[in-house]
Amino acid sequence: MIADITLGQAWGYVLALAAALVTLSKAWDIIVARIKPNKELRNTVEDHSKMLANGSKQFSEIKTELQEQRDATAFLLRMDVALLNHFIDGNSTEAMKHTRDAVTEYLSERR
């Protein structure tokens, strides 16, 4: 059977095989080109999800720090009021002792 194939037929088979390989190669390129944007989009979405999670964590930390600053400011204002009352009437020694104890307790908790 192989002996019955002429040189022209053999050349035709080689060309057909080459055409099939080129066709398969182009089909593969098209498939890869269609998959690549999906893969890149998936990676981008993953990256954005990670950044969002990280940003949420940082926002939570900032919110906590801000609340601590507000509490400290409110505490300082209460201390200032006690000092003002003492300066005004001079008789607020019990309030000053209470304020001193509160300041000591606040400072020991902050460490």
The per-residue pLDDT for range 31-71, each reduced to its tens digit, is: 888 877 777 888 899 999 999 888 888 999 999 999 999 98
Residue 90 has pLDDT above 80, yes or no: no
pLDDT mean across residues, the chain: 85
**What single letter denotes the amino acid at residue 86?**
H
What pLDDT shows up at residue 41?
Answer: 84
How far apart CA 28 and CA 36 sit, in angstroms, is 12
Structure confidence at residue 8 (pLDDT): 84
pLDDT of amino acid 17:
92
Q: Tally the C-alpha atoms within 13 A of residue 101's C-alpha that lie toward its C-beta.
A: 6
Q: Between 39 and 74, name the one with better pLDDT.
A: 74
CB-based contacts of 92, cutoff 8 Å, min separation 6 = 82, 85, 86
Helix 93-110 × helix 7-89 angle, to 10°? 160
As given in the structure block, the two tokens for residue 85 are 């009352």
Q: State the residue for tokens 């601590």.
A: 68
pLDDT at residue 105 is higher than 60 = yes
* Model confidence pTM above 0.75: no
